[in-house]
Amino acid sequence: MSQPSERIALPATPALARVSRQVWLALGIAIIAGSMLPSAVTSTLAITLLTQAVIGGILATAVGLVIRQTGLVSFGHAAFFGLAGYFIALPAKHGLWPLELSIVLAIAMPTLLAFLLGLVIVRIPGVAFSMLTLAIGQAFHEFAVRARLVTGGDDGLAINLPRTVFGVATEVFQRPQTMFVICWVALVGVLFGLHLLVRSRFGRVTTAIRENEERARFLGYQTVVPRALIFAISALIGAIAGTLFALYNGFVSPESLHWSLSGSALIMAIVGGTRLLWGPALGAVVFFFFKDVAGDLTEHWPAMIGLMLIAVTVALPMGISGALTKLLDRIRPAGVRRDG
């Protein structure tokens, strides 16, 4: 009798070969349009806001992936975001190794950590999982606040960037116009990667596990490792966001590990909708612009964010992306009828 394995066979045809022409077209348009946007937007404030929104969008995409593929809600993704920043700041402060290695570690270490944590915590359903992720995130935050000698405590750490990284002048990471393009390409790349992932056998198996874990087990599938892998992939995406944030700001503080950042990312994901991969990123753009407008109107802007969240969850249970898709689906048959 064969022994169990975690093997999930690869699809017969290469993943890239199965990407439709529409997706390639959308990818091309997205990259070109995003690259041209900074020259169209003259306001530095607006482009700064957009850059923050895109970084927030990558983090929200990470949170949305966990919801979409496992049905679990993470309240601690700021841990992976903030850890990435500290993995860049600390070696830079002590001159331990080149920034290139720090960037690799900043993305790899939170991913590894999430996988190991995931092997334990993805077994725990519902609110308990959310509370565990919250506790883990806050544990890192507390450490960053209290270990002043290592982390600089509440004051945080300034990151001394070298002149170049991977042959690129580090200046480009700190100018909003160029950093927006880098972050945008990263976001589009993440979404494209996830597009391939969710359509792969692995992605479809994780969807099945989300739908009915027991049945998946009775079909012969291990259910813990695939969910831990999804958690790790989502941490990787969160760490990419954290790395970009650290490079952009040249600074990292315990705030980047705080639960309120995890909460904001969750709000972005819910507002945008998690059924579609791009929903959380859309939610992030809406979130940042709504926050900016609300901040101009009142110092109590978090209350307005709360009202927006209530309004969206009540009126658009599938989020803005879900509502948009529904609207397009309604328009499409009408178009067919007109044509027909």
Partner 1 sequence: MAESFAIEGVGLTRRFGGFTALDTVRIAVPDGEIRGLIGPNGAGKSTLIDVLSGRADDWHGTVRLRGEDISAFTVQERRRGGLARSFQKTNIFPELAVREQLEIASWHAETPNVDEVLHEMGLVGIAHMRAADVSYGDRRRLDLALALIGRPTVLLLDEPAAGLSMKESVALAELLRDLASRWKVTVLLVEHDMEVVFSICDRITVLHLGRVLAEGAPDEIRKIPEVVTAYLGSTVE
The residues that touch partner 1, with contacts defined as CB under 8 A, are: 1-4, 8-9, 201, 204-205, 207-208, 211-212, 214-215, 217-222
- Of 28 and 317, nearer to partner 1 (C-beta) is 317
Q: How far is the CB of 221 from partner 1 (least distance, A)?
A: 7
Q: How far is the CB of 205 from partner 1 (least distance, A)?
A: 6
Q: How far is the CB of 274 from partner 1 (least distance, A)?
A: 13
In 3D, which of 185, 241, 253 has the Cα closest to residue 56? 241
Q: What is the DSSP string of 135-175?
A: HHHHHHHHHHHH-HHHH-GGG-EE----SEETTEETHHHHS
Q: How far is the CB of 211 from partner 1 (least distance, A)?
A: 4
- Of 3 and 39, nearer to partner 1 (C-beta) is 3
Q: How far is the CB of 275 from partner 1 (least distance, A)?
A: 10
| Element containing residue 196 per DSSP (H, E) | helix 176-199
Helix pair angle (259-272, 44-70), 10° resolution: 80
- Of 206 and 262, nearer to partner 1 (C-beta) is 206
Q: How far is the CB of 225 from partner 1 (least distance, A)?
A: 12
Number of residues written out for the chain: 340
What is the C-alpha radius of gyration for the chain, rounded to an integer number of angstroms? 21
The Cα-based distances of 21 to 27, 201, 335 in angstroms read 10, 21, 21
In 3D, which of 145, 163, 161 has the Cα closest to residue 153? 145
CA 111 to CA 332: how far, in whole Å? 41
The Cα-based distances of 186 to 30, 140, 179 in angstroms read 11, 26, 10
| Element containing residue 78 per DSSP (H, E) | helix 78-94
Q: How far is the CB of 230 from partner 1 (least distance, A)?
A: 16
- Of 125 and 306, nearer to partner 1 (C-beta) is 125
- Of 12 and 40, nearer to partner 1 (C-beta) is 12
- Of 100 and 211, nearer to partner 1 (C-beta) is 211
The Cα-based distances of 201 to 13, 122, 206, 281 in angstroms read 11, 20, 9, 25
- Of 210 and 291, nearer to partner 1 (C-beta) is 210
